[in-house]
Structure 1
Amino acid sequence: MKRWLPLLVLLVCAAFAFRALGLIDATGLWTDELYTTGKSFQPSYPALLQMLSRDTHPPFYYSLLWIWGQLLTPSAVTLRLFSWVTYLAGGLVITAQAGRLTSVRPRLAMALAALFAFCSPYPVRFAIEGKGYALLVLLVALAWWWRQRQRPLLYGLAVALAACTHFYGLFLFALTSLWDASRRRWPLAGVGAGALVPSLLWIVVASAYLLRSGTGAWIGTPDFALLEDTLARGLGLWPLPKLVVLLLVLAAIQRWGCHPTSRVAAGDWPAADRSGLIPSLLMVLAVVAVSFFKPLAFSRYFVVLLPALIPWLALRAAALPLNRLGQWLGGSALVLLLLSWWWHSFADLDPALSGQVARESNQFQLLSRQLQAEPHRYSRRARLFNLSDRMETAAGRMDPPPVPWGDGDALQRALISRPAPSQLWLADSGSARASRPRLNRLQQQAEAAGYRCEAVDLEAPYAQLRRCAPVGVSGTSGLPSASAAPDPRMETAAPQP
């Protein structure tokens, strides 16, 4: 391996990591991130546990965020910064694991693993998201590290924390314990199974919520879209054509790009075992099979595969005895892949690329700022809007609103109050199709009380707003003059009419 290559790899990884950090506040918090703030930034830890007993995730990530919020001011930036720090730590452990697993060109294996761990769309996408996926990757990577080194107690600790971060951690290491037992690795199997007890106890604590019929109803049964979306998270734009091209390049390298007299023995099975790839794939098969009866498979959850898959891919690539043609083909494919990742990894994070400041089809931030001074603003998602107000106020981008957002019950009380409000604002965040039913229910309440509502065009596809005034009262369809000045980022990012 040439001496300048490690420095080049370090610069490329740093470019991806620090570009992500620079975009940490470029988009507003989306639905799940707002729920994270509502769950994590509680006034006391008992209040946090009580809140989480009515949630779909175990408590470890939110517990760490609660501590994080005691040290730093709770805000969108500090929320996402926690994920960025764990993204860095997870990438370092994955890189070290690739070097530990191979005896053939370990430095090259580590360089490839670093590029995959820091630059591919899957980890970058979650590097600045207020969810627990970056932490989950770190903990799973630590578990594989200690398992490979035959350190049962440290392995068990990592397993317990991973299973208490996300239930896919529980599924993964339950299958791993069964696999290790089948290979007669009794200390690892026993410790791994015992480490799952805390997450199983948490299921009992939260069983009233977790076992109800509506929990997880938004997850569909497995289909081709699940495969395509999962591949897109890993490979980027046009995942299936890209996968075909990569397989063709690999076939060409195997045929013409390797020294025929020095081919390295395959060794796929032991490497896949030691890296954790075999139990990871067994977990995928089990989850997909179960999902035909009780849907559990969701593309973003398969991020748990990265800590096992990346080191295995890296060590297999590093072991190829490439000739000059093979080096040229492999290097060219890697450069083109990184160039495509530079765009696709940030397509949903950078307003300059997406043309808007929305993330995951949400623009709560825009509506919070536009209606901050209005006393009569209502939404079926009032809790999320109040959390958005809280985060925007903490960031210093708006003053504390005079009154919180109201829900449907609050709207009904306002409608029967005297004097009646001179105008009402009904809002929702999401696509027009998803928001319309929620807004229509509020509008029907207002119209039944003698109001007439009209849509307000904010020139933002995921911010839906309606203004309602009593019949006979004239008004404009523009935004209230008391609203905060629009964010310059939103002016430049909004689609042009």
Structure 2
Amino acid sequence: MADDFPPPAAATERPELKPIAGERFLLLLVAAALIAGLARRALVGWDAPLWLDEAFTAAIAIQPSLAGLLRDCLNELGGPVYYALIWTWEKLFGASNASLRLPSFIFSVATPLLICWRGHPDRMTRLFWASLVALWLPGFYFATEARPYALLFFLATVQIILFLRLLDAPSRARAFTWAAVSALLILTHYHALVVTGLQGVSFLALKRRGALALWPAALLFVPMIAWMSVHLPLHIRFSSPDIAWHQLLSPKSLKAFPDLLLGAGRIAAALFLLVAATTAIDLSRVLFRKARWPYSGHDTIAVASSLAAIAFVYGLGFIRPSFTARYLIPFIPGFLLALAMWLRLWGRRVPLLAWAALLPLLWLASASLVERIRDPEADPRWDFSWQQASADLEAAGAREVIFLWDNPTTALGYEELLQRTGGFFFDRAGSSVRVRALILAGRGDVDPNKALVRAAGPRDALIWAFDARVPHTLATRHPPRISAIDPAWKCRNYGRQNVTILACIRG
């Protein structure tokens, strides 16, 4: 049937691979990886307060009207798919921290299970891939975060699985399902357009006339293009050097590149060197001994699209300030599949290699689980949250709170959403405290201390949130000194590290 993998006799692009020595014991390692990954996702991260980005998600989720949801989506940089989902979810299950995070957990757990089920025609390849996804350290954080990244990773995984099936046996049904998932993926995060474009071009180049016969599937991208055309002006404004908060990458940044992809520090660097060395051996055999490329042609095309997308997005960050690690998420499933393919091939040649690669990742996952159970506040979300500050200001009798997020992106002027974000914790608690957003970005070198004191009334309070590492943050030129201006103000910093969450109320 068109929806099944082709039988082995027809799968000329993917010859049958020999078993790995000690495969039964490797299955135990795979099971341990899946269990450790699930435990790390399920047991920690739920009690952390909602941080800045999650507060934006929550503010959109509690938006009462569909028209308001549309306005919010047009004023948020991400695509609308996740926000439509979380808006609907909140109407059914409420806006508690755990409820808002539960969809991400579901998608995070579903991804390795999906790979185990249908990830790849070769059993060991898909089990290695599922293990790497389960042990991918950044995925632990996204699993309990009320943000689109677990959904994004899930959709990107579905996309590459569907792309492999489309390459193996092109059909109109497979083309439509790949296009539908790709459109949803792009409308979750626009950087996915890069890998989708590369997959599409690769398919056209490889299948040619057969690919052109499937052109009706491209119609599924029309609504995506229509939405992006309306949303594009916001992104053009956001890319302005005066507003963008990204740092320009430098040659020194390359040292951290393996950790960006795998999140495993020196272990990632060592693994990258090993993969590079062994792949160089394979390439030399192809070039000088006329040996056959040891990987399936279809698998190579699929993972090459993701690897090329990583190179493009990361490389662009050296030319203009445009990169942060989460922009690579749509390409990570393909990168981890490439690593699984390498483990499958070289694990057969060097049986201990699979253990040497997976055991350190399993150890890191287990150590992370123990560390977070011992110290839940090691979660970085505690650094940038005003959840506790809001509760304390209400208890202190605040009537109105002036909320200032000191960040250059606020110059884009989405005041209504910013106001609901700053006041989310009051609104969720049913408090009578009102919140008013103060936007200073784009108004020159304003001193936030004077602006906040001037804007506040007799029984007002204020929350001033900023990250000192972000360029064009006003607080880097005008550090907090509210109490020095007026000793009647009592202030407390709820932030940590480079983040300040200054909450003040007149005594």
Q: TM-score, normalised by structure 2?
A: 0.73
Partner of 1:485: none
Q: In the alignment, is the contact (CA less than 8 A) between 1:226 and 1:299 conserved in 2?
A: no
- C-alpha distance 188-142 of structure 1, shift in aligned 2 (>3 A): farther
Q: Which amino acid aligns with 2:245?
A: W
Counterpart check, 1:456 vs 2:492: yes
Counterpart check, 1:390 vs 2:424: yes
Query: Which residue of the other structure, out of 279, 283, 298, is the alignment partner of 2:305?
Result: 279
Partner of 1:481: none
- C-alpha distance 224-83 of structure 1, shift in aligned 2 (>3 A): farther
Partner of 1:35: 56
Partner of 2:17: none
Partner of 1:132: 148
Q: What CA distance in whole angstroms lies between the structure 2 residues aligned with 1:353 and 1:186?
A: 59
Q: In the alignment, is the contact (CA less than 8 A) between 1:110 and 1:314 conserved in 2?
A: yes
Partner of 1:119: 135
Q: Give the match's secondary structure for 1:196.
A: helix
Partner of 2:237: 212
Q: In the alignment, is the contact (CA less than 8 A) between 1:393 and 1:400 conserved in 2?
A: yes
Partner of 1:405: 435
Q: In the alignment, is the contact (CA less than 8 A) between 1:39 and 1:62 conserved in 2?
A: yes
> CA-to-partner distance for each residue in 1:191-211, whole Å, 9 max, x for gaps?
675443322211221233222
> CA-to-partner distance for each residue in 1:18-51, whole Å, 9 max, x for gaps?
3322224221112111112222332122221122
Q: In the alignment, is the contact (CA less than 8 A) between 1:368 and 1:388 conserved in 2?
A: no
- Counting only pairs closer than 5 Å after superposition, residues 206-285 of structure 1 correspond to structure 2 as 206-212=231-237, 214=239, 217-224=244-251, 227-239=254-266, 242-244=268-270, 247-248=273-274, 266-268=293-295, 270-274=297-301, 276-285=302-311
- Counting only pairs closer than 5 Å after superposition, residues 99-178 of structure 1 correspond to structure 2 as 99-100=120-121, 102=122, 106=123, 108-150=124-166, 151-178=174-201
Q: In the alignment, is the contact (CA less than 8 A) between 1:28 and 1:358 conserved in 2?
A: no
> Could you list the runs of 5+ residues in structure 1 that have no partner in the other structure?
256-263, 470-474, 476-497
Q: Which amino acid aligns with 1:327?
A: P
Q: In the alignment, is the contact (CA less than 8 A) between 1:156 and 1:191 conserved in 2?
A: no
Q: What CA distance in whole angstroms lies between the structure 2 residues aligned with 1:433 and 1:219?
A: 10
Query: Which residue of the other structure, out of 227, 237, 251, is the alignment partner of 1:202?
Result: 227
> CA-to-partner distance for each residue in 1:273-332, whole Å, 9 max, x for gaps?
35x211222323333454455544321111112222222322331233647xx3345424
Counterpart check, 1:301 vs 2:327: yes
> Could you list the runs of 5+ residues in structure 2 that have no partner in the other structure?
1-21, 167-173, 282-290, 406-414, 440-449
Q: Which amino acid aligns with 1:370?
A: D
Q: Return the offset for 1:88.
A: 1.8
Q: What CA distance in whole angstroms lies between the structure 2 residues aligned with 1:84 and 1:69?
A: 15
Q: Which amino acid aligns with 1:334?
A: L
- C-alpha distance 392-228 of structure 1, shift in aligned 2 (>3 A): farther
Q: Return the offset for 1:85.
A: 0.7
Partner of 1:94: 115
Q: Which amino acid aligns with 1:335?
A: L
State the identity as a percent.
Answer: 21
Q: Give the match's secondary structure for 1:308.
A: helix
Counterpart check, 1:341 vs 2:365: yes
> CA-to-partner distance for each residue in 1:240-260, whole Å, 9 max, x for gaps?
x642366359969999xxxxx
Counterpart check, 1:17 vs 2:44: no
Counterpart check, 1:362 vs 2:389: no
Q: What CA distance in whole angstroms lies between the structure 2 residues aligned with 1:282 and 1:252?
A: 20
Q: In the alignment, is the contact (CA less than 8 A) between 1:389 and 1:401 conserved in 2?
A: no
Q: In the alignment, is the contact (CA less than 8 A) between 1:121 and 1:234 conserved in 2?
A: no
- C-alpha distance 214-157 of structure 1, shift in aligned 2 (>3 A): closer
Q: What CA distance in whole angstroms lies between the structure 1 residues aligned with 2:130 and 2:41?
A: 16
- C-alpha distance 38-142 of structure 1, shift in aligned 2 (>3 A): same
Query: Which residue of the other structure, out of 49, 70, 82, is the alignment partner of 2:103?
Result: 82
Partner of 2:286: none
- C-alpha distance 330-8 of structure 1, shift in aligned 2 (>3 A): closer
Q: Return the offset for 1:73.
A: 0.8
Q: Which amino acid aligns with 1:222?
A: L
Partner of 1:311: 337
Partner of 2:475: 437
Q: What CA distance in whole angstroms lies between the structure 1 residues aligned with 2:370 and 2:436?
A: 35
Q: Return the offset for 1:358.
A: 4.2
Q: In the alignment, is the contact (CA less than 8 A) between 1:13 and 1:115 conserved in 2?
A: yes
Partner of 1:484: none
Partner of 1:53: 74
Counterpart check, 1:71 vs 2:92: yes
Q: What is the RMSD computed on CA atoms of the aligned residues?
A: 4.0
Moved more, 228-237 or 109-118: 228-237
Q: What CA distance in whole angstroms lies between the structure 1 residues aligned with 2:436 and 2:115?
A: 46
Q: What CA distance in whole angstroms lies between the structure 2 residues aligned with 1:413 and 1:305?
A: 43
Q: Give the match's secondary structure for 1:319.
A: helix
Q: Which amino acid aligns with 1:378?
A: I
Q: Return the offset for 1:152.
A: 0.8
Q: What CA distance in whole angstroms lies between the structure 2 residues aligned with 1:252 and 1:279?
A: 21
Q: Give the match's secondary structure for 1:211.
A: helix
Q: In the alignment, is the contact (CA less than 8 A) between 1:120 and 1:345 conserved in 2?
A: no
Q: TM-score, normalised by structure 1?
A: 0.75
Q: In the alignment, is the contact (CA less than 8 A) between 2:57 and 2:147 conserved in 1?
A: yes
Q: Which amino acid aligns with 1:67?
A: T
> CA-to-partner distance for each residue in 1:202-226, whole Å, 9 max, x for gaps?
1221233222255671223333465
Q: Return the offset for 1:8.
A: 5.1
Q: What CA distance in whole angstroms lies between the structure 1 residues aligned with 2:332 and 2:217?
A: 20
> CA-to-partner distance for each residue in 1:137-185, whole Å, 9 max, x for gaps?
2222222222222211111111111111110122221222222222234
Q: In the alignment, is the contact (CA less than 8 A) between 1:379 and 1:428 conserved in 2?
A: yes
Moved more, 384-393 or 313-322: 384-393
Q: In the alignment, is the contact (CA less than 8 A) between 1:33 and 1:131 conserved in 2?
A: yes
Q: What CA distance in whole angstroms lies between the structure 1 residues aligned with 2:475 and 2:115?
A: 45
